[in-house]
Amino acid sequence: MHAQGTAQRQAAQGLALPRSTLQAWQAYADRLDECPTVVAFFPSVPGLAFLHRLVSALPLACVEIGACGIRLVCLVLDLTGLKRFVGTSYGTQPRGNCRVEEAMVASRREERARLARALPATDITVAQEETVTGGLCLSGIEARRNSMLLEQEAQAREHDTWHRLLEQALSGLTCRGMQSTRDEAPGLLASGAQHLGAHHAPALFHVQHDLRKAVSAPMAATQRAAAQAVAKAAERRTRGQARLDNANGERTKHGPGRAPQATASLEQVEQDVDAARQAPQRLAGQRETVPQSLRAIGHASPCVDVERGVRRNGTRSAGDIQRHVDTIRTIAQQAPLSEPSLERSEQAERVVPQMQAPIACVSGYVRQQVRPWDVAPPASYAVHAPLSPSFSLERVASTQTMTDGAPLRARAERLRTPRCAPGGA
C-alpha cells in the first residue's frame, strides 16, 4: 500500500489497525534481533504458512482441547520469540481464538452432513439430561458412541421443547431412538414416549443419588450430634466427680433462695456415658452399610451378571435391587431421619419396579434382530445366552485396568469360543 502511494493513516484505516500500531510494527522490523535467515523465513510464503498453522494450532490445542486459557498461548508465543512476528497481547489473541471456534462450528456442520449420507440405518440409545448451571441447557448423548447429539440453551423444558430440539438434532441422520435413559421429569418422559418413540430406561444414577442424599447426609449429621452427646455426657461425669472430690463428703453450698441441686450418682452418669457411646458406633456401622448397598444396586442393575457371565432375569434383578433398597430404608427408619429424607428415599424406591423393563427391552430387541435370519432353536438362542453376555463382559473389561479386566475377557472368550468353532451355533 505504501508502494502504491497510500498514506500511512489511510493504510491503517484500511487494515483496521491503530496508526500507532502500524508505526510500531515498522519501527520494530528495523530492530529485530533475530538471525537474518529467520527474519527472511517468516515473511516468505513457506514461513507465513507455517506461522499461520502454528497460531491456529495453539488456541485449538491449548484453549479448546486443553482448556488452559488464552494467557498461556500468549506466554508460549512470548517465550519462543515469536512475539516479534505475531501479536501476543491479550487483546489480540482472543480474536484469533474466535476464528478458530468459528472454524470448528463450520467444520462440524460440514462433517455432519457428509457423514450422515454414509451412515447406515441405526437404532440408538439417547441419554437425556437437563442442567441449570449458568442457565437451562438441554443435552442429549448417543450412549454407545458417547457422541453429543444435543446441547442447546432453552427457556423451558416441557416435552414440546425437547421434541423440537431433538428433531433438529436428528434431522438428516438415518437413526432412530430405540431407548432413552433419563430421570423421571414429566417433560422428559413425555418427549420420549410421544415424540422420540423410545423405550424409557430409568437412570441408575438418579436412584443411587436420591438414596444417598436422603440417607447419607442426614445420618452424618445425626452421627455428629451423637458424638457431641458423648462429649457432653463425659463432661457431666467429670463435673460430678469434681464435686464429690471437692466436697469431701460434705454437702455442696448453694446461693440463697435457690433449691439445692440433686447430684446424680456416678453410677447413673457412667450408664449415660456408655449409652451415649453406643449411638455413634451404631450409626458408623449403619453408614458403612449404605454405600455397600448402593454399590450392590449398581451390580444388580445391568442386563448381564458380570460374575457369572449370564443374562439376568428382569423380575429377579428388580427383586435384588429392592432388597438393597429395603436395607437402606430400614437404616433410615432406625436412625431416625426426618420426614423429607424418608420421602426422598420413597421417591427413589418408586423407580425400582421400572428398572426391570430395560432387560425385557434388550431381549425383545435381540429377538427382533434374530427373527429375519430364520434360524431354529437352539442356534437362535446363542445370541441371547452366550454371545450377548460375552460382548457385555468385554465392554465392562474395557473400562478397567488390564489386570482387573483379564478375568472378564477370559470368561467372555470361554462363552464365545465353542459357539464360533466349526459346527457351533
Q: What is the pLDDT of residues 313-360, one digit of tens each?
A: 878 888 888 888 888 888 777 766 777 777 777 888 888 888 888 888
CA distances from 317 to 33, 293, 347, 393, 398 (A): 74, 14, 19, 18, 24
Closest CA to 148 of 184, 183, 173, 118: 173
| pLDDT for 166 | 86
Closest CA to 124 of 183, 166, 187, 186: 166
Provide, rounded to the nearest whole percent, the portion of the chain with pLDDT above 90. Answer: 10
Position with higher pLDDT, 236 vs 307? 307
pLDDT band (50, 70, 90) for residue 258: low
Cα dihedral 5, 7, 8, 10 sign? negative
| pLDDT for 259 | 47
Residue 231 has pLDDT above 90, yes or no: no
Position with higher pLDDT, 269 vs 130? 130
Over residues 121-141, mean pLDDT: 86
C-alpha cell belonging to residue 253 = 453450698
Tell the residue number behind the cell numbers 463382559, with chain if given: 393
The per-residue pLDDT for range 346-358, each reduced to its tens digit, is 888 888 888 888 8
Provide, rounded to the nearest whole percent, the portion of the chain with pLDDT above 70. Answer: 88
Residue 107 has pLDDT above 90, yes or no: yes
Q: Please, which residues have CB within 8 angstroms of residue 83's CB and are 6 or more apart in sequence?
A: 77
| pLDDT for 240 | 67
- Lowest mean pLDDT segment, chosen from 204-213, 253-262, 288-297: 253-262
- Lowest mean pLDDT segment, chosen from 126-140, 170-184, 216-230, 365-379: 216-230
Residue 106 has pLDDT above 90, yes or no: yes
Report d(CA 77, CA 310) in Å as an integer.
57
| pLDDT for 276 | 66
Residue 425 has pLDDT above 50, yes or no: yes
Residue 49 has pLDDT above 90, yes or no: yes
Residue 120 has pLDDT above 80, yes or no: yes
Q: pTM for this structure?
A: 0.59
C-alpha cell belonging to residue 188 = 422428559
CA distances from 103 to 16, 61, 86, 108, 117 (A): 22, 14, 20, 9, 22
pLDDT band (50, 70, 90) for residue 254: low
Residues paired with residue 17 on neighbouring β-strands, in sequence order: none
The mean predicted confidence, pLDDT, of the chain is 81
Side chain identity at residue 254, one-letter code: H
Report d(CA 118, CA 149) in Å as an integer.
17
Q: Is the distance from CB of 302 to CB of 180 less than 8 angstroms?
A: no
Question: Please, what is the Cα angle at 225 between 221 and 230, to 5 degrees?
Answer: 145
Sheet of 175-182: strand order equals: 147-153, 137-142, 122-131, 175-182, 199-202
| pLDDT for 267 | 64
C-alpha cell belonging to residue 209 = 443419588
pLDDT band (50, 70, 90) for residue 403: very high
Closest CA to 317 of 216, 414, 204: 204
Over residues 375-395, mean pLDDT: 84
| pLDDT for 262 | 44
Residue 36 has pLDDT above 50, yes or no: yes
Over residues 251-265, mean pLDDT: 52
